[in-house]
Amino acid sequence: MPEQIKKTLYLLVIHTLLITVALSCIFPFVWMINSSLKPNSEFIQDHGFELPDKVNFQNYIYTFTKGNLGTYFLNSILYTFLTVIAIVIISSLAGYGISRLQFRGKNFIFYMILAAMMIPIPAAFVPLYVLLKSVGLLNTRIGYILAMVNVGLSLSIYLYKTFFDQLPKDLEESARIDGCGKLRIWWHVMFPLAKPATGVVVIFNALNVWNELILALVILSNKGLMPLQVGLLKFSQSSVGLTQYTTLMAALTVAALPIIIIYLIMQKHIIKGMTAGATVG
């Protein structure tokens, strides 16, 4: 049965490759969590490859009390939450307007939004910095949130618009006959129907805001306003972050674990949302 052997061998090679890469993706995080539970001196001796002699949460306590991680964490939650809500409302309104309502310049606005998705401006943060500074929004929460709303806006409008285009018009018609205004049709009929689109928009933007670095770095210089990514970067450059490896790893664990857990619970939706977002853009 040479054919059978050949096939088995083939599968063996495939799985070896897959498992090796998969291990390389998982191992660093297991290693990170393991190391974060030991004192630095122990880590330097065993390089984090052995289980801790005695589990201790000293590093975690430090990251929250001295490392300011709690503030960064809450900031990130606040920014993500507000930005995503704003994006969902604003972009579904706009998507509905572009898909169903008539007004002058509609197509122009839509093409502009499309063009914005296709033209990269690698240095967009430079003019934004100057503009925000000149209107006094630099180093404010609202400035950062608005900037992040803008980052996710064009893609989300596009997603909503294409979704609304595919919906049949009957439901709206009957609502209109019942005397609903346009705003109420949007809120009571269209928005609930658009749940799949909302799911993609929420997931894509939430991860985008949570992981965003450069705009936060440019806009926010006050430590109390910084989100987690910038906070981690600052912490890693402090004297503790540079020398106490296990403390830094505790901070990284605090930042990574919630995302990993949410990801494992919602992996199907997250993978779908992220790829939908990436391929449209």
Partner 1 sequence: MNRKEQLINFSFVFPALAIFSFFYIIPFFYTFWLSLHKASSTNVLDLNFVGVRNFKDIFSVQIFAALAGILGISLIVFAFKNKFKKLSSKRKKSLAKTLQIITIAAGGAFLVYSIGAFLNISKQALSFSPDLQWWNSVRRSFYITLWGLTFQNCLAFLLALGVDRAARTGKYYRVIFFLLPVLGEVIIGLLLRIMLSHYPGVFNHLLESIGLGQWAQNWLGKDMALTTLAVSHCWRGFGYGFIILLAGLQTIPEQLYEAAKIDGANALHRFTKITIPMLIPIIFLVIILTILGTVQIIGLPMALTRGGPAGRTTVSVLRIFEDLNNSHVGYASAEGLILGLILVTLSFSLLKISKKIKS
Separation of alpha carbons 241 and 248, rounded Å = 5
Q: Is 30 in the site for partner 1 (CB under 8 A)?
A: no
Whether residue 144 contacts residue 215, with contact meaning beta carbons closer than 8 Å, is answered with: yes
Q: How far is the CB of 59 from partner 1 (least distance, A)?
A: 13
Q: How far is the CB of 140 from partner 1 (least distance, A)?
A: 14
Contacts 24+ apart (CB under 8 A), 77-82: 78/141, 79/141, 79/144, 79/145, 79/148, 79/209, 79/227, 80/206, 80/209, 80/210, 82/145
Nearest residue (CB) to partner 1, 1 versus 123: 123
Q: How far is the CB of 276 from partner 1 (least distance, A)?
A: 10
- Helical segments of 119-265, H only: 125-135, 141-166, 170-177, 182-185, 191-193, 195-210, 214-219, 228-237, 239-243, 245-265
Kindly identify the residues of this chain, within the stretch 190-249, that bind partner 1 according to CB under 8 A. Answer: 207, 210-211, 213-214, 217-218, 229, 232-233, 236-237, 245, 248-249
Whether residue 91 contacts residue 157, with contact meaning beta carbons closer than 8 Å, is answered with: yes
DSSP 8-state class, residue 225: G
Q: How far is the CB of 16 from partner 1 (least distance, A)?
A: 10
180, 202, 240, 274: residue in contact with partner 1 (rule CB under 8 A): 274
119, 192, 195, 239: residue in contact with partner 1 (rule CB under 8 A): 119
Q: How far is the CB of 17 from partner 1 (least distance, A)?
A: 6
Q: Is 61 in the site for partner 1 (CB under 8 A)?
A: no
Whether residue 231 contacts residue 80, with contact meaning beta carbons closer than 8 Å, is answered with: no
Q: How far is the CB of 88 from partner 1 (least distance, A)?
A: 12
Nearest residue (CB) to partner 1, 51 versus 271: 271
- Phi, psi dihedrals of residue 180, rounded to the nearest 5°: -80, 140
Separation of alpha carbons 270 and 262, rounded Å = 9
**Site string (5-24) toward partner 1, x via CB under 8 A:** ------x--xx-xx--xx-x
Kindly identify the residues of this chain, within the stretch 250-269, that bind partner 1 according to CB under 8 A. Answer: 252, 255-256, 259-260, 263-264, 267
